[in-house]
Amino acid sequence: MVYGSNDPKIREDLWTALSSIQHSVTSWVLLGDFNVIRDVSEKVSFIPPDLDDILAFNTCFLNCHLDDIRGSGCEYTWTNKQDDSTRTWSKLDRALANLDWFNQFPTTYATFLPAGISDHSPVLVNVFDDPHLQSRFSFLNCWTTHPSYRTLVTQAWQLTVQGNDMFKVFGKLKNVRASLYALHKQNYSDISTRVVAAKAALMDCQVILQSCPLSQDLILKEKQLLVDYSALKQAEMSFLKQRAKVDNIKHEDCSPKYFFSRLQERKNQQIIGRIVDRHGTERIGLSYVAEGFVDYYTHLLGSTTPTSPLDATLIQQGSCVSPDDSASLIKPISLDEIKAALFSIGFDKSPGPDGFSSGFFKDSWELISSDF
């Protein structure tokens, strides 16, 4: 629990204390009145914050890797409860947690309740167990750099699949997916651990080489270890940037922890732990949320609603497509048009339900184009 002083200079002691204890506790949450004013609507009068204090606030939380707990309720957590001409609203109270907490409890939610007789809003934090989301296949760009990648994809794609054209494509993709799963498990699973081990093996070899600087065997071993380490390091960079959706930053500019925190943020965004159902009732918890969705769509798709007949005059009075445009809409689609549309999609755009990104199709176009 945190209570920040009204004096910015005294509050600096709070930031210093938080920074000093950040590594003494693995998973931690901070709740309370930080007395730092941020994110206040321009339409509401507020006391301008002290710039130095804001910088200290941000620096402390950046070092502690703390983020706001997702929540709802009152947007402003403090008011002086005066008349409209002198009323002041601000967000002084926060609920924050570090990366380790979100890794353990990704479905943590904070609700800022009405203030009641106080001038501050109380905060209610709900903590749920990790839902253990089922992982699904997602094509990784780093696979394309492996020497066996092209051969594996070609062999899998050329396996015979019976059925119509679309069924054949999905069947071939399923075969490729199985081959890539095996490639990943053997060469890229737990990539960061592999990078650390490869670096350690390289450094150990270099230490031994110091005592036998002209050993041909050690020199060749060092070269191979260097190649292995560089390849794994590059694969790790590609993996982290792709999964974290970070394109505008160099890997060497940030520690892996930054990328993993972004990965965790994306994972948390997939979790819906709170909704308001069709009756206006708030549902909290994954099972209750699931029941709310089922109830909503059962009602939506399982009931009838009377509709008005179509007004034909709306169609008659509208603009008509010219004969030339009409003919262009139904003409056969060429392979060049398909290729142009596919290659206009970004290489790292999110994949479809099958898990294959546009990067896979573009990289394997010569092999798959006729089927595709």
- The structural domains of the chain, with segments of one domain joined by +, span 2-126, 132-189+329-372, 190-271, 272-304
- Cα dihedral value 283, 284, 285, 288, nearest 10: -10
DSSP-derived 3-state class of residue 338: helix
* Closest-CA residue to 149 (of 117, 186, 115): 186
Residue found under tokens 């990784």 = 140
Q: Roughly what angle, to the nearest 10 degrees, separates helices 149-157 and 165-187?
A: 150
In angstroms, rounded to a whole number, what is the distance separating the alpha carbons of residues 313 and 38? 55
> Any idea which residue has 């709310």 for tokens?
292
How many Å apart are CA 219 and CA 139, to the nearest integer? 36
Evaluate if residue 256 carries a pLDDT over 90: no
Q: What are phi and psi of 33, to 5 degrees?
A: -95, 105
More confidently predicted of 313 and 33: 33
Assess whether pLDDT exceeds 80 at residue 106. Answer: no
Highest mean pLDDT among 73-77, 100-104, 278-282: 278-282
- Show the tokens assigned to 58: 């941000």
User: Cβ atoms within 10 A of the Cβ of 110, count?
Assistant: 21
- List pLDDT tens digits, range 118-140: 999 999 888 876 556 567 888 99
pLDDT value at position 40? 39
pLDDT at 265 over 90: no
d(CA 16, CA 56): 9
Domain 2-126 class, CATH top level: alpha beta
Residue 352: predicted pLDDT: 81
Q: Judge whether 38 and 69 are in contact, CB under 8 Å.
A: no
- Burial grade of 322 (CB within 10 A; 0-12, 13-18, 19 or more): exposed
**How much is the pLDDT for 238?**
84
Q: Is the pLDDT of residue 153 over 90?
A: yes
d(CA 149, CA 170): 19
Taking all residues of the chain, what is their mean pLDDT, rounded to a whole number? 82
- Rounded Cα distance, 118 and 93, in Å: 13
Q: Are 87 and 45 in contact (CB under 8 A)?
A: yes
- Read off the tokens for 94: 């926060």
- Write the pLDDT tens digit of every residue in 186-223: 999 888 899 999 999 999 999 999 998 889 999 999 99
Whether 60 has a pLDDT exceeding 70, the answer reads no
Element spanning 269, H or E = helix 256-269
The CA-based diameter of the chain, rounded to the nearest angstrom, is 93
In terms of Cβ atoms closer than 10 Å to its own Cβ (0-12, 13-18, 19+), residue 311 is: exposed
The most confident of the ranges 166-180, 270-284, 297-311, 348-362 is 166-180
- 42 pLDDT band, cuts 50/70/90, is very low
Kindly indicate the confidence band of residue 64, based on its pLDDT and cuts at 50, 70 and 90: low
pTM over 0.75: no
Q: How confident is the model at residue 155 (pLDDT cuts 50, 70, 90)?
A: very high
Q: Kindly give the pairing relationship between strand 71-73 and strand 109-112.
A: parallel
